[in-house]
Structure 1
């Protein structure tokens, strides 16, 4: 038996889900679509990975932008992509989906000669499949001879190496050519030919999962008990029948006379927002228990809970819960019927599904706007030259970082757009400001509707917002700014952007060891939970310990804190690093004028060229980076 490298490999559909963002209308009336990875086995692989299983996918994708997105997103989800194969002859499949009402979910499959349906037996690597604890095959992929053969080949390899075989019936009549192409939501059309084809894999299976309609097609009868008995006659597998809000019933042995005589897993009463993807979540939850040898009742509970969580959300794969989220849901005494209104659960989902990790982060901040306009006035330079200088920031960061993802840039969309565009091809953290420079009370730049503005930003741009905010501000000023910050957080969550809240209190009042922590606590009390904080430097270790305690008490999932520079001289800033580096919650810095002020002035005045400016920026940036790493090492951290 090969050493088990993965718990699960799912085989079959891997596509792009394009989900209509307007709810309650016809697919014809949808105006915009959200893009997710999709396909039942791919969704299950993501769900399993989020629950702590080591999962992988065996499929084909087009050698196109969407195929690359699938591979990149799976990697971000910690799903093994060794089995994701490029098909240069075919495009990645697409599915358009909508949410009309609790019972109507129109969808159109664009799967004509698509990449994943070209999977063949020779694509099945025995070493990859044989080292998995289980393989999952999918009913849709049994509709074509080549993918049927590939699925059977994977099952045979798994069994030969001691692995288990899971069969997700996953019946879509339209993909068997049994309905018109606009009837993708239809879940059942009787077909003896389909039944015969699906039953050919029954002797290979250890676990078979399906809805009652799917059990009907597999068993060849619209009477559920009769169908289950027909399946049992050809397979000793554990049979699990999904029953929507009623939960599920499992049959490890003979089929009784009534469904409720099996092992019943009670469902959860939640508002159904979107049924699409719930079955894939159910499968992921069940496998989290079954593959870890949990009691059957526990596996059913995991499965039903995962399904309940996903039916309450938009999308399939992005809605899959994490292990921490699942445990939180199961421990909840009285979850709201409209589960997506559970703020605590939604926060856990957001925080535990973010991708990327920054144990350290050093950022060249060149998002300044008014300061660059002032430099142009001082040097007599044309402000139209500012974008060209800002584009040098990324080059300076790359010269120093050489691909190290612990580095980043902060650039604005007004003058720094060329740098932001170029940054898409680099692995660095990207921040982008939303505030109107110098505004207090806080105002937003560009669109009056901040959500509309953020909807135009790439998802990997972290929204940075500076607020001149002191906990002792006058009530009317404080409340006005807080409304803006809460509005921004809501917009960022809905558009899928992380948020960095930059708080500068010193402009509005005296600062002591409690000022920053009091400001943060006030915002936490109002429901703010930004992904990052950007805070003023301080020489007080106690001030930083107060900040850290406040963050840990209110949001243990917070990414952390980065220091701002406030245009401090280099030696003063480096001196302040010692106090900040003493607390783990501070990950690094995002400093600008201390690094770029001299080079910008000389470049704008024509005293130095691009290469000299890049050299100067990289050199000054390196001084601060080295100083920060040295300060962290002093306190026992690794550089």
Structure 2
């Protein structure tokens, strides 16, 4: 277990120059490379973990921009495919006074939704690795089938599967994520990451403890629950670990969650062994490192550029 493979969307975040409700002066948008799985690949690469991104980009200016940015940050892009059938996705990002953001997506149609199993590089799961996925590659039937099949392939090949719920409801037809489909992806993972808001949405009227127990009974080994600047929790069948992140002044929360999961996965891969999920010291250390990474990222604007390196973290 020595590398990360991230699959899903890479897109361009068009970050607004306005902060909060101000309407003074012209509004401009600055392009930043983004997309949750791509962010995680970059987060891990910047921390020194070999990382590969799998996905589809349009044969357009923004596709060129994303491919160049991924490679510049040390991500293996040999598994990236290009298409003329759709354009690279855009997300226009607005921020409130605390740096919390809202997204207006130009997707679908988008190139990332056209990735299929026959686009996978030969032997990609030939050696054990960590496969990271998000729910945004479930929003249409064909890409959902690809995502779920890829998770199954990785598990059968001995890979560790990580899933970040990362719900973006406005990407789904009807304006809400398909709870059944998302839960199907979650239950095929070894490690889950979700926010308190995502947990509340997915469990509907189920008590939180019962819902978490159902995921763990399905085979999930650890569930990480984040709460913005609040404590991060790591839940298992009989234990819970809590870590408070460093207190910082948030500028832009766009990359915070992806920096967090990138730090968590990097630490787990660095110290991985077959009983990783029973190693309380490893899990607490990984959660602490993840909190430091997430806290650092929200102090900078954008996605890739905000993700910390070892030097940024002091080691």
Equivalent in the alignment of 2:229: 245
Equivalent in the alignment of 1:283: 261
- 2:266 is equivalent to residue 270 of structure 1: no
Q: TM-score, normalization: structure 1?
A: 0.46
- 2:147 is equivalent to residue 163 of structure 1: no
1:41 match: secondary structure:
helix
Quick one: structure 1 residues 57 and 28, their matched pair in 2 at CA, closer, same or farther if it must change by over 3 Å? farther
Equivalent in the alignment of 1:235: 219
- 2:310 is equivalent to residue 327 of structure 1: no
- 2:118 is equivalent to residue 118 of structure 1: no
Question: Is the strand fraction higher in 1 or 2?
Answer: 2
Equivalent in the alignment of 1:84: 80
Structure 1 vs Structure 2 CA RMSD: 2.2
CA distance in 2 between counterparts of 1:315 and 1:30 reads: 20
Question: Is the helix fraction higher in 1 or 2?
Answer: 1
Quick one: structure 1 residues 25 and 222, their matched pair in 2 at CA, closer, same or farther if it must change by over 3 Å? farther
CA distance in 2 between counterparts of 1:120 and 1:28 reads: 45
Quick one: structure 1 residues 220 and 82, their matched pair in 2 at CA, closer, same or farther if it must change by over 3 Å? farther
Segments of 5+ residues of structure 1 without an aligned counterpart are 180-188, 255-260, 329-639
Q: TM-score, normalization: structure 2?
A: 0.90
Shift of 1:213: 1.7
How does 1:299-378 map onto structure 2 within 5 Å? 299-327=286-314
2:41 match: secondary structure:
helix
Identify which of 92, 99, 114 aligns with 2:95: 99
CA distance in 1 between counterparts of 2:244 and 2:166 reads: 22
Shift of 1:132: 5.2
**Which of the two has higher C-alpha Rg?**
1
1:21 match: secondary structure:
strand
Quick one: structure 1 residues 168 and 126, their matched pair in 2 at CA, closer, same or farther if it must change by over 3 Å? farther
Q: Is the 8 A contact 1:129 1:135 kept in 2?
A: no
Equivalent in the alignment of 2:277: none
Equivalent in the alignment of 1:351: none
Equivalent in the alignment of 1:54: 50
Shift of 1:220: 3.8
CA distance in 2 between counterparts of 1:265 and 1:229 reads: 21
Shift of 1:249: 0.8
Shift of 1:25: 4.0
Describe the superposition over 1:389-428 as per-residue Cα deviations: whole angstroms up to 9, x where unpaired. xxxxxxxxxxxxxxxxxxxxxxxxxxxxxxxxxxxxxxxx
Equivalent in the alignment of 2:147: 151
Shift of 1:226: 3.6
Aligned length, in residue pairs: 306
CA distance in 2 between counterparts of 1:125 and 1:27 reads: 48
